[in-house]
């Protein structure tokens, strides 16, 4: 089985994450996308974080019944700061994929990739797959990579959180079960 890995805070997961992952999976022939929510990302603070348990639950609801997507909680179970190289090694050891897994990077992460923990090891142990999240052009990355031909969807988790907190509609930016979860638990200031 060929794996494509997408990590992130997923605070909350939205349609941009899911569409980007599914398009890259299909374009490059991966069998499954493994979505990995971080516990403590090293390069990002988690604004209005409802906690890893809620983020994990929302992610599982978002992909429930989707055979081409799975959720793995290895970073939450491992504890501490979430480093992608540790996650790739863990998933490969446990899942035994066919060939190197793909590591999906949104273009918003490309400029900071050289500062990640062990970027050279990441490139040796995973194939980098870049995708557009916000940019209409392909950004340069000084490591071997491929670029997905995905359509960027201008949705972000911070936008969803801001809309929820201000009482503005946010239903159609996230999967239905995630919307219901947020409303029922009054997450992100939603009331």
Name, in order, each residue with C-beta under 8 angstroms of 1's C-beta and a sequence gap of 6 or more: 31, 32, 95, 97, 98
Q: Is 105 inside any structural domain?
A: yes
Whose structure tokens read 């400029």? 111
Q: Is 12 inside any structural domain?
A: yes
Quick: pLDDT tens for 73-82: 999 999 988 8
Q: Is 175 inside any structural domain?
A: no
Biggest CA-to-CA distance, the chain: 47
Quick: pLDDT tens for 36-63: 999 987 666 666 889 999 999 999 999 9
- Range with the lowest mean pLDDT among 92-96, 122-126, 149-153? 149-153
Say how far residue 95 (Cα) sits from the centre of its chain.
Answer: 19
Structure confidence at residue 45 (pLDDT): 66
Structure confidence at residue 160 (pLDDT): 97
CATH classification of the domain holding 150: 3.40.50.620
Q: Is 143 inside any structural domain?
A: yes
Count of domains for the chain: 1
- For 187, other C-beta atoms within 10 Å of its C-beta total 22
Quick: pLDDT tens for 131-159: 998 777 788 899 999 999 999 999 999 99
Helix (H) or strand (E) holding 130: strand 127-131
Instruction: Domain of residue 97: give its range.
Output: 3-156
Q: Are strands 127-131 and 3-8 parallel, antiparallel or unpaired?
A: unpaired
Q: Is 163 inside any structural domain?
A: no
CA dist list (Å): 89 to 20, 46, 69, 118, 165: 23, 24, 19, 12, 38
Structure confidence at residue 82 (pLDDT): 87
> Can you tell me the distance from the alpha carbon of 52 to that of 38, in angstroms, rounded to the nearest whole number?
8
Say how far residue 181 (Cα) sits from the centre of its chain.
Answer: 19
> Please, which residues bridge with residue 36 across strands?
7
Structure confidence at residue 40 (pLDDT): 80
Structure confidence at residue 135 (pLDDT): 72
């Amino acid at each position: 089985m060929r794996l494509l890995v997408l990590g992130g805070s997923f605070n909350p997961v939205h349609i941009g994450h899911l569409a980007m992952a599914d398009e890259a999976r299909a374009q490059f022939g991966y069998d499954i996308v493994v979505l990995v929510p971080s516990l403590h990302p090293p390069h990002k603070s988690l604004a209005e974080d409802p906690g890893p348990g809620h983020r994990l639950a929302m992610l599982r609801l978002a992909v429930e019944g989707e055979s081409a997507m799975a959720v793995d909680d290895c970073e939450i179970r491992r504890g501490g700061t979430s480093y992608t190289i540790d996650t790739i090694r863990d998933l490969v050891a446990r899942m035994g994929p066919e060939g190197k897994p793909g590591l999906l990077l949104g273009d918003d992460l490309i400029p900071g990739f050289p500062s990640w923990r062990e970027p050279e090891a990441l490139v040796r142990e995973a194939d980098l797959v870049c995708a557009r999240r916000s940019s209409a052009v392909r950004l340069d990355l000084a490591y071997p990579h491929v670029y997905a031909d995905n359509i960027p969807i201008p949705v972000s988790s911070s936008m969803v959180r801001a809309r929820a907190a201000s009482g503005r509609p946010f239903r159609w930016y996230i999967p239905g079960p995630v919307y219901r979860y947020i409303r029922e638990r009054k997450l992100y200031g939603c009331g």
